[in-house]
Chains A and B, each alone.
Chain A
Amino acid sequence: MGWLRDRWARLLVFLAVMGPGVITGSVDNDANGIATYSVAGANFGYRLLWTLILSTAALAIVQEMVARMGAVTGKGLADLIRERFRARLTVFVMVVLVVANWANTVGDFAGVAGAMEIFRVSRYVAVPLAALLVWLLVVRGSYRVVERVFLAATVVYVTYVISAILARPPWERVLREMVTPSFQFDRAYLALLIGLIGTTIAPWMQFYQQAAVVDKGIGERDYRYARWDTYLGVVALNAVAFFIIVACGATLFAHGVNISTAADAAAALRPLAGPYAAGLFALGLLNAGLFSVAIIPLSTAYAVCEAFGWEAGLDRSPREAPIFVGLFTAMIVASALVILLPGIPLIPVMLFSQVLNGVLLPFVLVFLILLTGDREIMGPHRNSSLFSTLAWVLVAALAALSVLLAVATLVR
Chain B
Amino acid sequence: MWNARAGIQAVIHLSRVINVPILDADGMRLGVLGDIAVDLREPLPRVTGLWLRGDRSRLALIPWDAVASLGEEAVRLRQTRRFLQPRPLQPEELLLAGVLDTQVVDTDGLKVVRVNDLHLTPANSEVRLVAADVGTLGLLRRLNMDRPVLWAARLAGRILPERVIPWKMVAAFGGPMTPVKLSVSRERLREVHPADLAQLLEDLDRDERVEVMTALEHEDAAEALAEAEPDVQADVMKTLPSDLAADILEEMAPDDATDLLTDLPPERAEELINLMDAEEAADVRELLRYPEGTAGSVMTTEFIALPRGLTTRSTMERLRELAPEAEHIYYFYVVDERRHLVGVLPLRSLIMARPDQSIAEIMAPDVVSVSVDDELETVAGALTKYDLLALPVLDEQGRIAGVITVDDVMDIVLRKGRRRVPLRFRRRAAPAARREKRGR
Q: Do A and B bind each other?
A: yes
Stretch at the interface among A83-91, A155-163, A185-193, A227-235: A83-91
Contact A219 B238 (CB under 8 A): yes
Contact B207 A87 (CB under 8 A): no
Distance of A76 from chain B, by nearest CB (Å)? 8
Contact B101 A88 (CB under 8 A): no
**Given that A83-B101, A87-B101, A91-B143 are known contacts, is A74 also in contact with B239, CB under 8 Å in the complex?**
yes
Distance of A19 from chain B, by nearest CB (Å)? 13
Contact A86 B100 (CB under 8 A): yes
Distance of B95 from chain A, by nearest CB (Å)? 14
Cβ contacts under 8 Å, B111 to chain A: 311
Distance of A312 from chain B, by nearest CB (Å)? 9
Closest to A216 in B: B231
Distance of B71 from chain A, by nearest CB (Å)? 22
A217 within 8 A of partner (CB)? yes
Contact A75 B206 (CB under 8 A): yes
Distance of B112 from chain A, by nearest CB (Å)? 8
Contact A86 B205 (CB under 8 A): no
- Contact among A13, A74, A75, A82 for B114, CB-based, below 8 A: A82
Cβ contacts under 8 Å, A219 to chain B: 206, 238-239
Cβ contacts under 8 Å, B239 to chain A: 74, 219
B201 within 8 A of partner (CB)? no
B362 within 8 A of partner (CB)? no
B101, B112, B116, B239, most chain A CB atoms within 10 A: B101
**A interface footprint on B224-258 (CB within 8 Å = 1, 0 otherwise):** 00000001001100110000000000000000000
Cβ contacts under 8 Å, A74 to chain B: 205-207, 235, 239
**Given that A74-B239, A311-B111 are known contacts, is A83 also in contact with B102, CB under 8 Å in the complex?**
yes
Contact A309 B134 (CB under 8 A): yes
Size category of the B interface is: 20 to 34
Contact B142 A88 (CB under 8 A): yes
6 nearest A-B pairs in the assembled complex, by CB-CB distance:
A309-B114, A74-B206, A87-B142, A217-B235, A75-B205, A309-B113
Contact B103 A87 (CB under 8 A): no
- Contact among B101, B112, B113, B235 for A82, CB-based, below 8 A: B101
Give Cα distance in the complex from A79 to B103, angstroms.
9
- Contact among A75, A83, A88, A221 for B143, CB-based, below 8 A: A88
Cβ contacts under 8 Å, A311 to chain B: 111
- Contact among A13, A73, A82, A217 for B231, CB-based, below 8 A: A217
Give Cα distance in the complex from A219 to B103, angstroms.
21
A276 within 8 A of partner (CB)? no
B139 within 8 A of partner (CB)? yes
Give Cα distance in the complex from A82 to B205, angstroms.
14
Query: Which residues of A are at the interface with B, using a C-beta cutoff of 8 A?
Result: 13, 73-75, 79, 82-83, 86-88, 90-91, 214, 217, 219, 221, 308-309, 311
Closest to B104 in A: A309
Cβ contacts under 8 Å, B100 to chain A: 86
Give Cα distance in the complex from A69 to B430, angstroms.
54
Cβ contacts under 8 Å, A82 to chain B: 101, 114
Contact B235 A79 (CB under 8 A): no
Give Cα distance in the complex from A83 to B208, angstroms.
14
Contact B207 A308 (CB under 8 A): no
Closest to A16 in B: B265
Contact B143 A87 (CB under 8 A): yes
A–B complex contacts, Cβ < 8 Å, 27 sampled: A73-B205, A74-B205, A74-B207, A75-B205, A75-B206, A79-B205, A82-B114, A83-B101, A83-B102, A86-B100, A86-B142, A87-B101, A87-B139, A88-B143, A91-B143, A214-B206, A217-B231, A217-B234, A217-B235, A219-B239, A308-B139, A309-B103, A309-B113, A309-B115, A309-B116, A309-B134, A311-B111
Contact A217 B238 (CB under 8 A): yes
Give Cα distance in the complex from A214 to B202, angstroms.
12
Closest to A306 in B: B114
Closest to A81 in B: B101
Given contact pairs A74-B206, A75-B206, A309-B116, a sample of 11 additional A-B residue pairs in the complex whose CB atoms are under 8 Å apart: A74-B205, A79-B205, A82-B101, A87-B101, A87-B139, A87-B142, A87-B143, A217-B235, A308-B114, A308-B139, A309-B103
Closest to B231 in A: A217
Distance of B267 from chain A, by nearest CB (Å)? 10
Cβ contacts under 8 Å, B238 to chain A: 217, 219, 221
Cβ contacts under 8 Å, B112 to chain A: 309
Cβ contacts under 8 Å, A83 to chain B: 101-102, 174
Closest to B142 in A: A87
Distance of A16 from chain B, by nearest CB (Å)? 8
Give Cα distance in the complex from A43 to B420, angstroms.
57
Give Cα distance in the complex from A221 to B142, angstroms.
38
Give Cα distance in the complex from A75 to B239, angstroms.
13
Give Cα distance in the complex from A73 to B204, angstroms.
12
Cβ contacts under 8 Å, A79 to chain B: 103, 205
Cβ contacts under 8 Å, A309 to chain B: 103, 112-116, 134
Closest to B136 in A: A308
**A interface footprint on B68-105 (CB within 8 Å = 1, 0 otherwise):** 00000000000000000000000000000000111100
Cβ contacts under 8 Å, A73 to chain B: 205-207
Closest to B238 in A: A219
